[in-house]
Structure formats: C-alpha cells, structure tokens
Amino acid sequence: MRLLGLDYGTKTVGVAVSDPLQITAQPLETITRKSAGKLRQTLARIEEIIEEYQIDKIILGYPRNMNHTTGERAEACEAFQEALERRTGLEVILWDERLTTVEAERVLMAGGVRRENRKAVIDQMAAVLILQSYMEAVQLSRREE
C-alpha cells in the first residue's frame, strides 16, 4: 500500500510517493499547468501516477493560516480534494502544510542546491515533507495505542 503526497499550488502540484511499507517519502515530480483553473491535465497525470505506483490513499497539503483559520487557498485546496476524490475514487486526506515550503527551502539550501535549481524541486520537497509528516503521525498514533 503506497501513499501519494501532493503540495497543491496555483500553477504547480508537487508530487511525492511513499515506499510500500510507508516508512519514507520520495520526491517524484512537479506537475505544471498554464493557469490555476485548468485541472484536467493535472488530474489525468495524477491518475497515471496512481495507476503506476498502485496508490491507495492521497495526502493533500492543506494551507491553513498561522492562526488556524482558512482562506482562499484552503478553499481552492478543498475544491481540488473533491475533484480528486470524484475522479480517482480514493480517500484524500487534508494534512496541515504550514511552513513546509519554508522547511523545504531550508533543506535544499542545506543540501547545497543552487537558488536557480531550487525552484524546480521546491514543490516536490514540500510534498515529501507533507507525506513524511503524515506517515510519522500515523506511526506515532499506532505506537500509542
């Protein structure tokens, strides 16, 4: 059983996938679209990834504000969640993504990735952090039971 992690943005979607044992998350790709409202090709590519990696569940980064409120980006994310569930038939879990892009930037800088190269992989790294955070929370919950 593999999980798919997504970092949904206005023009890109960072994609990460778990290993079959759901221990680690690996960056996969960044899906780019020409405009914010054009989701057909994005959803089609996600369906291809689901088929190729035999995904059972999707973890979608949920952009809450620092004061725990939601705004326009969160509403767009909720609409994307609904579209994903309709199109794929899979459960899509919204997972708090606050500060993942900042952390992804920090990780890439620490890894020596040049500024001009970071933009190409920042969304993938954010998706990895979202997915890894979810898997660690699930593992911790299981240990506490």
At 112-139, the pLDDT tens digits run: 767 776 676 778 888 999 999 899 989 8
Pick the CATH number of 2-144 from 3.20.80.10, 3.40.50.2300, 3.30.420.140, 3.10.20.30: 3.30.420.140
Cα gap 136→15, rounded to integer Å? 18
Position 107 confidence tier, pLDDT thresholds 50, 70, 90 = confident
Q: So what's the pLDDT on residue 36? A: 67
All residues at 6 or more sequence positions from 81 whose CB lies less than 8 Å from its CB, including other chains: 60, 92, 94
Distance of CA 117 to the CA centre of its chain: 20
Tell me the HSE value of 145 on the side-chain side, using a 13 A CA sphere: 6
Cα gap 83→81, rounded to integer Å? 5
Cα gap 6→97, rounded to integer Å? 10
Whole-model pTM: value is 0.87
What are the start-end ranges of the H helices in the chain? 40-53, 72-88, 100-110, 115-144
